[in-house]
Structure formats: C-alpha cells, structure tokens
C-alpha cells in the first residue's frame, strides 16, 4: 500500500547537534510538506516543496533546512540555530490534481533535545 | 486564509458515552481530514471527507458543505479513545488557503474515564 514513512518515531539529540528527520513517500505525489507541533498548539508549516529541486519557506522556517533531490524524499534538518527544537514533526504530501490538493499524512517524529 | 475552529477544546466523558467533536471553517474546501493523536504518540488519519458521511467501526464523520461544518462522533466511547482529535481542511486551490492550502484546527483533547 502507498503511504508516507517517517523515521524514527522518537529521536533524542544533544543540544547543539544538527539532526535530520526522514520522510519518504511512494504515492508519486509532487508536493511534500513539513509541519511542527508544540504542546497545546496547532500544526505550523515549516517548509514545502511543490516539485523536485525546489522548495519554499513556510511560516516558521528559521533554524531548519530541507532538500528535495528525489520526488520520493523530503528530509528536514533541524540545525543548531533552531532555538527550541523539541517538538513533534509531521510530514505530508499532496498530488495536487487540478484544483484539489489531496493530502496524505505521515505518522510523525517526536524530537527531544536535551 | 481559511479559519478553522474546533469545539470543544477539552472534553471529559464517561466510558460508554456518545461523543461529538465539531469543526467549522470559513472558506469553501475540497476536503476535510480528521486526525487522531494519542498522548506522546504519532498522527493517525481517521477520515478524509468531501461530502456526506463516513463510518469506520465506532467512529462516524459527517460534513455539511453548505454550512461549512463537520462533526466527528464516537459511539460507545472507551478509555482507549482518549486522544487529541484534529480537524484539517484543504482549501480549494487559489482560494482561502495559505502557501500549502491546508489549515489545521487546534485540536480537541478528549479524555474518556472508565
């Protein structure tokens, strides 16, 4: 079955270290997205990519970087410049087809920086 | 940008009760998602709706496009249903959406007591 795989589910890192979160999809979707969730808050857009080798900043891109070298993969790096990296990170993808986005969601990665 | 409101924010109920969680949005959409997130856990997609009603086990989701409103119902609630339930709407492309066309509600925190 097609879907989105995020790994790992739980990740622990020491402060000051960069860490890369994986997101892979086998849905043949063109667009991919990264969101961040903080306790008690809604999900916010970090970065998105509508096509291979292209990506755009979302609402809270500072301290993060991404790449989109393959259609299937959209890894997110949380850099040491991100002041509060501990959060839940969700990856999603969408077609889009015509006027419809058609989102599919990953299960997320919970990052804890100590 | 589409505005998404969920109600209630918090809900505590007794095992066996019928549960209703509501989601309202401001601009026409192409689809609405209901997501489930257990404490400390990942995201699970429950439903994607563009019209009518869907049922999966004890969960029922309905949407009224004219009234811009969706409800998630849980019948015969159980403590394992305790989770945050998140509504997310896909705005019609180029109409009411942000950069990604997706708007999340802040979630409803449900606790089912034995």
B34: pLDDT strictly greater than 70: yes
In this prediction, residues A57-70 reach a mean pLDDT of: 96
Across all residues in chain B, what is the average pLDDT? 91
Q: Is the pLDDT of residue A6 over 70?
A: yes
Residue percentage of chain B with pLDDT more than 90: 75
Chain B stretch 53-112, residues whose beta carbon is closer than 8 A to a beta carbon of chain A:
86, 88, 90, 92-94, 98-102, 104-107
Question: Residue A11: is its pLDDT beyond 70?
Answer: yes
Looking at residue A86, what is its pLDDT? 95
Whether residue A103 and residue B88 make contact (CB cut-off 8 A), yes or no, is yes
The per-residue pLDDT for range B71-87, each reduced to its tens digit, is 999 999 999 999 999 99
pLDDT at residue A100 is higher than 90:
no
**Contact between A105 and B43 using a beta-carbon 8 Å cutoff:** yes
On the question of pLDDT at B97 being above 70, the answer is: no
pLDDT beyond 60 at B95: no
Q: Do A107 and B35 touch (CB under 8 A)?
A: no
- Interface mutation vs chain B, best among A10, A95, A100, A101, most B CBs within 10 Å: A101
- Would the pLDDT of B100 be above 80? no
- Which pLDDT score is estimated for B29? 86
Instruction: Mark yes or no for CB contact B105/A42 under 8 Å.
Output: yes
Contacts of A42 in chain B (CB under 8 A): 86, 104-107
What per-residue confidence (pLDDT) applies to A41?
83
In three-state form (DSSP H/G/I as H, E/B as E, the rest C), the secondary structure along chain A is CCCEEEECCEEEECCCCCEEEEEEECCCCCEEEEEEECCCCCCEEEEEEEECCEEEECCCCCCEEECCCECCECCEEECCCCCCCCEEEEEEEECCECCECCCEECCCEEEEEC
pLDDT grade, residue B49 (50/70/90)?
very high
Which of A2, A3, A29, A42 has the most B C-beta neighbours within 10 Å, making it the best mutation to test the interface with B?
A42
């Amino acid at each position: 079955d097609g879907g989105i795989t995020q790994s790992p589910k739980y990740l622990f890192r020491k402060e000051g270290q960069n860490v890369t979160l994986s997101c892979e999809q086998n849905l043949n979707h063109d667009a991919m997205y990264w969101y961040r969730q903080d306790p008690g808050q809604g999900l916010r857009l970090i970065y998105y990519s509508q096509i291979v080798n292209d990506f755009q900043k979302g609402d809270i891109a500072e301290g993060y970087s991404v790449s989109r070298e393959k259609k299937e993969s959209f890894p997110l790096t949380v850099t040491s410049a991100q002041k509060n990296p501990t959060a839940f990170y969700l990856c999603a993808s969408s077609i889009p087809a015509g006027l419809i986005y058609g989102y599919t969601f990953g299960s997320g990665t919970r990052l804890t920086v100590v | 940008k589409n505005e998404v409101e969920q109600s209630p924010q918090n809900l505590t109920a007794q095992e066996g009760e019928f549960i209703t969680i509501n989601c309202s949005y401001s601009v026409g959409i192409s689809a609405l998602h209901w997501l489930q997130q257990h404490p400390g856990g990942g995201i699970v997609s429950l439903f994607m709706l563009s019209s009518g009603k869907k049922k999966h086990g004890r969960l029922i989701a309905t949407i009224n496009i004219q009234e811009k409103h969706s409800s998630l119902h849980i019948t015969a609630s159980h403590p394992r249903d305790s989770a945050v339930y998140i509504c997310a709407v896909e705005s019609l492309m180029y109409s009411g959406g942000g950069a990604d066309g997706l708007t999340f509600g802040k979630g409803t925190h449900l606790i089912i007591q034995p």
